[in-house]
Amino acid sequence: MIALVQLASEETEPAFLPPLPELVIGTLAFLLVVLYLGKKLLPNLNKVLDERRVAIEGGLEKAKAAQDEAQQVLDDYRAQLAEARNEAARLRQDAQEHGAAMVAEMRTEGERQRDEIVAAGRAQVEADRQTAAASLRQDVGKLAIDLADRIVGESMKDAARQERTIDRFLDALEAKPADTTKAEVTR
């Protein structure tokens, strides 16, 4: 190798032999870069990078918090929605039950009123029948007495006797087949 260097140096300046000025200048130029970068720029840059890391982590934490909150809100909303659904279902059921109860009540009320009306009707009819029967009884009695009066010619003006006679007649009449009498009356 030494021979090679010598050979080269005989021809021209050798490319392999490091000349001192170049070695020194090259190394110094480099040391300048290292010093400036190492002492000045990188500490500053690393500080900024750390700050950035913190900022990003802070951002991530914020995002996490926001996400959690959003999740919380969503859960709340879902819970509320479920509750509202339950409430609605409950109300619907209540309404149904209530409606059914009302219908049943109305029905019983209606039935009751109908029964009342029917009963009132029946009572009225009965009363009318009785009135009619009483009036008829009086008329029939009167007619019979008049008839008998005329036939017998006997004065039957005495009220007490008249009354007794009518009653007797009517009792006899009712004691006879009642249906026929009744049929006669209604007719």
Partner 1 sequence: MSADQMLAFETDCHIFDGCGFPTPGLHSFVFEPLFTVGGIEVNKPMLLAVLSSVVVIVFLWAAFGRAKLVPGKLQMVGEAGYDFIRKGIVYEALGKKEGEKYVPLMVSLFFFIWMMNLWSIIPVAQFPVTSIIAYPAGLALLVYLIWVPLTFKRHGFIGGIKNITGYNKDLGWVLPLVMVLELFSNLLIRPFTHAVRLFANMFAGHVLLLIFTIASWYLLNGIGIAYAGVSFVMVILLTAFEMFIQALQAYVFVLLACSYIQGALAEHH
Cβ proximity to partner 1, 57 vs 128, nearer residue: 57
Cβ proximity to partner 1, 55 vs 101, nearer residue: 55
Q: x/- binding map, residues 6-35, to partner 1, per CB under 8 A?
A: --x--xxxxxxxxx-xxxxxxx-xxxxxx-
Single residue of 4, 6, 51, 115 touching partner 1 by CB under 8 A: 51
Number of residues that bind partner 1 (CB under 8 A): 36
Cβ proximity to partner 1, 34 vs 172, nearer residue: 34
Q: How far is CA 154 from CA 94, 140, 159, 170, in A?
A: 84, 19, 14, 20
Q: How far is the CB of 32 from partner 1 (least distance, A)?
A: 5
- Cα(6)–Cα(119) distance, rounded to whole angstroms? 150
Under rule CB under 8 A, which residues in 94-153 are in contact with partner 1?
Answer: none
- Cα(133)–Cα(125) distance, rounded to whole angstroms? 12
Q: How far is the CB of 86 from partner 1 (least distance, A)?
A: 51
| Alpha carbon distance, N-terminus to C-terminus of the chain | 163
Single residue of 55, 84, 100, 147 touching partner 1 by CB under 8 A: 55
- Cα(38)–Cα(1) distance, rounded to whole angstroms? 38
> Residue 149 has which token pair?
């009066």
If one asks whether residue 77 binds partner 1 (CB under 8 A), the answer comes out as: no
- Cα(24)–Cα(18) distance, rounded to whole angstroms? 10
Single residue of 4, 6, 52, 99 touching partner 1 by CB under 8 A: 52
For every residue of 64-114, DSSP letters joined together read HHHHHHHHHHHHHHHHHHHHHHHHHHHHHHHHHHHHHHHHHHHHHHHHHHH
Which residues of the chain form contacts with partner 1 (CB under 8 A)?
8, 11-19, 21-27, 29-34, 36-38, 41-42, 44-45, 47-49, 51-52, 55
